[in-house]
Amino acid sequence: TLVVAIGPTEESRIRQLTETVIDVAKPSDADVVLYHAFSERAFEEGVSETGYDLEEPPKPEQVAERLESVVCLTDALEDAGVTHEVESTVEPTVEGILGVADDRDADMLFVGGRKRSSTGKAVFGSTSHQVMMNAECPVVFVREGTDDEVEPAEASSAGAEQ
């Protein structure tokens, strides 16, 4: 089982995350769990935005299934013929990710993130870092912006030709 942690701002790296998950899941015929953790406030906002009644809220999965990044991943996995499901909880993100990975006995966990300075990590913390340090299974980190970056060797050889 592969667990894919989907944050609230995955849109910028969704293509990289999707391709990476499919590259691992398809040849190994692995099941994929798309997981999203809601804060209390985010869940209540999601319930309101999707038209559900706050007095009788839906399961978190029903709200998560409507998130743009979850829809994109779901569509791509269906197109690739990869078995998957959506799971969601209302709890702190790191605890939720580690909990679902443990509950599902995950063989691998996928998280997205962005490059941060050491100061940025210290001040703002890093969900990805906490997950990588505490997960019981291997973690694949998919970093934002890796598609458009020029490799340092390419940059130096391009400059040498001038």
- Regarding predicted confidence, which is higher, 126 or 33? 33
Q: Which helix (DSSP H) or strand (DSSP E) does residue 152 occupy?
A: helix 152-160
Predicted pLDDT of residue 12: 67
pTM of the model: 0.82
Alpha helices (H) in 2-139, listed in sequence order: 14-28, 40-49, 60-64, 68-80, 93-103, 118-124, 127-134
Q: Which helix (H) or strand (E) holds 108?
A: strand 108-113
b/e sequence 33-63, b meaning 16+ C-beta within 10 Å: bbbbbbeeeebeebbeeeeeeeeebbebbeb
Write the pLDDT tens digit of every residue in 92-132.
Answer: 999 999 999 999 999 999 998 766 566 655 544 578 888 98
